[in-house]
Amino acid sequence: MEDILYAPWRTEYVSGKKIEGCVFCHISKNRDKDEDFHILHRDEKCFVVMNKYPYTPGHFMIIPHLHTDKLEVLESETWLHMSALAQKSVRLLKEGFGAHGVNIGMNLGAAGGAGIAEHIHMHLVPRFNRDTNFMTSIVETRVYSTDFEKIYKKIKSLIPKYF
Looking at domain 8-162, what is its CATH homologous superfamily? HIT-like (3.30.428.10)
What is the pLDDT, as a whole number, of residue 54? 87
CA dist., res. 109 & res. 118, Å (int): 7
Q: 11 CB contacts (<8 Å, ≥6 apart)?
A: none
Q: Collapsing DSSP states into helix, strand and coil, what is residue 70?
A: coil
The per-residue pLDDT string of the chain (163 residues; one tens digit each, 9 = 90 and over) reads: 454 444 554 555 445 567 789 999 999 999 999 999 999 999 999 999 999 888 889 999 999 999 999 999 999 999 999 999 999 999 999 999 999 999 999 999 999 999 999 999 999 999 998 766 444 444 454 555 578 899 999 999 999 999 9
Q: Is the pTM of this model over 0.75?
A: yes
Burial status of residue 87 (CB atoms within 10 A of its CB: 0-12, 13-18, 19 or more) = exposed
Catalytic residue among 38, 59, 121, 123: 121
Q: Collapsing DSSP states into helix, strand and coil, what is residue 25?
A: helix
What is the pLDDT, as a whole number, of residue 119? 98
Do residues 67 and 118 touch, judged by C-beta distance below 8 A? yes
What is the pLDDT, as a whole number, of residue 137? 44
Helices (H), 45-143: 76-91, 134-139
Calculate helix-pair angle for 76-91, 148-162, nearest 10 degrees: 110
Residue 163 DSSP code: -
Residue 146 DSSP code: S
CA dist., res. 96 & res. 79, Å (int): 25
Q: Are strands 60-64 and 46-50 parallel, antiparallel or unpaired?
A: antiparallel
Q: Is 26 part of the annotated catalytic residue set?
A: no
Do residues 96 and 162 touch, judged by C-beta distance below 8 A? yes
